[in-house]
Amino acid sequence: MEKTILVEKNAKGKMFVEKIQLKPEESVKINNENDLFYFIESGYGVMYVEKYGYNFEQETSIFVPKNSAYTFTNTGNVDLVVVYYGVK
Q: Tell me the per-residue pLDDT of 42-59, one tens digit each, with 9 for 90 and over.
A: 999 999 987 789 999 999
Give residue limits of the domains in the chain: 2-87
5 against 13, higher pLDDT: 5
Between CA 9 and CA 18 the distance in angstroms is 9
* Alpha-carbon dihedral sign for residues 55, 83, 31, 22: positive
Between CA 24 and CA 21 the distance in angstroms is 10
- pLDDT for residue 11 is more than 70: no
| Overall average pLDDT of the 14-37 stretch | 91
| Overall average pLDDT of the 28-39 stretch | 91
Tell me the β-bridge partners of 84: 18, 38
**Which CATH architecture best describes the domain 2-87?**
Sandwich (2.60)
What pLDDT does residue 8 have? 63
Q: Give Cα separations from 81 to 13, 53, 69 (angstroms).
A: 25, 19, 20
Tell me the β-bridge partners of 81: 21, 42
Prediction pTM value: 0.82
Measured from the Cβ of residue 56, the count of other Cβ atoms closer than 10 Å reads 19
